[in-house]
Amino acid sequence: MLAGLAVTNITMPFLSVMGPDQEFMREWFQRYYLNRPPRPPERMDRREFGFMFFDREYVQRHLGFEGPGELHSFIQGQVPSHAYYSSAYYQFPGAATMEEKKWLGADLIFDLDADHVKGAESMSYRDMLARIKVELLRLIDDFLLGDLGFDASHLRIVFSGGRGYHIHVMDARLASLRSHERREIVDYIAGTDLNMEWVFPERTTASREINGRVQESRVRSTPSPTSGGWRRRMRHGMMWLVEEMRSRDLPDLRARLPALAGASDAMIEGMLKDLYSKSGARDGADLMLSGNALSNFSDRRHLDLFLKLLKEEVVPRFSAEIDEPVTSDIKRLIRLPWSLHGKTGLCVTPMDREELDRFDPLRDAVPSLYPDRTVEVFVRKPSVVEIKDLRLEVEGRCEVPVYAAMFMIGRRIATLDFPPDE
């Protein structure tokens, strides 16, 4: 998914000849835009716009529009394959250089893309989008509405039309944040350089004087059940890790937890014995959580290994997957809501938090304008396509509904350019 365009993109005047696939998609895009032109963004007269096309091999940007009519006329006449607008506000958005535009502020943008989800390349398109939605809900509920305390009314959630989602935080208090300040928000959400000394601080449990010297007994505290933010998250992460390791053999543990690489079998077994050895009716891990202290380790090295697992295995699992450069970029172009995505034919669909739970991209982002009537396409290799209420197993020449053809042609699963022997 092309979430946004960096400021280095330039316009290169080169026209290309459209093939049957581009002509087919452009025709349906034009029908869509004539019937449902995209709604302009807030403060559109302060935004820069950029476009890509079916019949041109360049990006056209540095465009400004005074009102919805101008924007709609451009889109309906030029029929872009991708439409973008700036997260930033400018005094002169149509100026040819970034310096001349005079930056005034920017929305805070988050981008979640399948490229950042482990294993997404082996998933079906539907499963990939479902996995992204899990990450999206964690970002919204745990971080944006939770830890950071943003108001739900300031969030606009947008299905990108491709492989993920965008979140626009439109709060005037955030508009003036520069890149390094936005980067701090990214680092918090990602758990970057999370200070384990802060999460699990050492405290003195006892002290005594022997031969004039004071000896102290010290333990690391675990976050209490009432903790907030990353301390609460790491407490839950400890519980996950303890159960993840319970009753697993060493080869399985090493396969599941790459952070164990470099630790000897004896060291791992020693840590496990400390965690799961019984003290009365309770094991060490249970006592550790209930006692709010990492005090059940017989060897400091076992504790250090456990802390290493918490940092390298738990933190990534309890953070949120986002495209970090998008959030810190204060001059980004982001997809225009209600425009169409040139690589799927799907609609860039905005929604609020309540609508997100029931949103199905392969149903709700398919434009109703695309008809059910069939068109013949050629499928290059055996494929399974799920869209709306269909599950198609296709290969070679086949007839599919127009809405499925748009999706398949956009994703290059199918073509209207039939091979000569077909």
Query: Using CB atoms within 10 A of its CB, is residue 267 exposed (0-12), middle (13-18) or buried (19+)?
Result: middle
CB contact at 8 A, 387 and 403: yes
Q: Indicate if 323 belongs to the active site.
A: yes
Polymer length in residues for the chain: 422
The Cβ of residue 387 has, within 10 Å, a number of other Cβ atoms equal to 24
Q: How far is CA 363 from the centre of its chain?
A: 20
Q: Indicate if 329 belongs to the active site.
A: no
Among candidate residues 107, 142, 274, 323, the one labeled active-site is: 323
The Cβ of residue 220 has, within 10 Å, a number of other Cβ atoms equal to 19
CA distance 126 to 133: 11
Q: How far is CA 333 from the centre of its chain?
A: 17
| Distance from the first to the final alpha carbon of the chain | 32
CA angle 373, 378, 384 (to 5 degrees): 80
Among candidate residues 113, 142, 274, 329, the one labeled active-site is: 113
Query: Using CB atoms within 10 A of its CB, is residue 67 exposed (0-12), middle (13-18) or buried (19+)?
Result: exposed
Residue type, 34: L
Closest CA relative to residue 402, chosen from 28, 8, 126, 147: 28
CA distance 140 to 320: 9
Q: Indicate if 421 belongs to the active site.
A: no
Closest CA relative to residue 136, chosen from 101, 96, 165, 175: 165
- The residue with tokens 């997809």 is 335
Rg value, the chain, Cα: 27
Closest CA relative to residue 130, chosen from 156, 99, 163, 90: 163
- Could you list the active site residues? 111, 113, 323
